[in-house]
Amino acid sequence: MKKSKHKSAFRLIALALGEKAGKSEKEADIIALIRLVIILQAIITNGFIVANAIYNMSGMGRVPVPKEHIKEP
């Protein structure tokens, strides 16, 4: 029963990724898996970019400058 749930979930994801491509069912599944990996990579990368922006805007990313490096006028 679990295997059919995984297959139907993968089928829905594959359909959401776009038009079915490939000469056979196996080839279409491989293409859908490659598309899924590319989409997941983009989502993860965007997550890191947003996390970095939030980190730097919060002030936690600032490094204090030692007094020796500050020039007085």
Q: How confident is the model at residue 38 (pLDDT cuts 50, 70, 90)?
A: very high
- DSSP annotation of 62 reads -
Q: Which residues, at least 6 apart from 14, have a Cβ–Cβ distance to it below 8 Å?
A: 20, 28, 29, 32, 35, 36
Q: Dump pLDDT digits (tens) for 40-72.
A: 999 999 999 999 998 888 877 777 778 787 787
Residue 15: which of 36, 1, 42, 41 has the closest Cα?
Answer: 36
pLDDT band at 9 (very low <50, low <70, confident <90, very high): confident
- Is the whole-model pTM more than 0.85? no
pLDDT over 70 (residue 1): no
Question: Higher confidence at residue 7 or residue 43?
Answer: 43
Domain boundaries, the chain: 21-58
Give the whole-angstrom CA distance, residue 13 versus residue 71. 59
